[in-house]
Homo-oligomer: A and B are copies of this chain.
């Protein structure tokens, strides 16, 4: 099944870093939505649903910082801000989707294990 990798701790750290980067509550949702094309702030907000302004701001700012999205301000009245994935962002989507696919397929197994464990602890 699994090719046996040499597990260098430093490499694991890199994995850990990127996973932490991407592993918060909103990041993948934002990146996923932006995968469909560029979006404005509130458009994104409504598309995701349940995210507060502050969290969306922090999330997109972080993604911009790491080079995953671009932020373009049109100085119109009222202001208009477009967010779009960069090439790096789109490339990131590939492994993220692979993990997502795994998650989708194995959701049930995890849920079952969890129920079993919680029942045993009781």
Contacts and interface: CB of A to CB of B under 8 A. Distances in A.
Contact of A99 (B87, B96, B113): B96
Contact of A24 (B12, B20, B112): B20
B15 A100 contact: yes
B36 A12 contact: no
Say whether chain A's binding surface is mostly helix, strand, loop, or mixed.
Answer: helix
B14 A107 contact: yes
B33 A90 contact: no
A5 interface: yes
Interface size class of A (residues with CB under 8 A): 35 or more
A75 interface: no
A1 B99 contact: no
A45 to B, nearest CB: 13
A19 B26 CA distance: 10
23 contacts: A1-B91, A2-B93, A2-B94, A3-B47, A4-B35, A5-B33, A5-B97, A7-B32, A9-B47, A9-B49, A14-B100, A15-B96, A19-B99, A20-B23, A22-B23, A65-B114, A67-B109, A67-B112, A67-B114, A88-B113, A95-B95, A95-B98, A96-B99
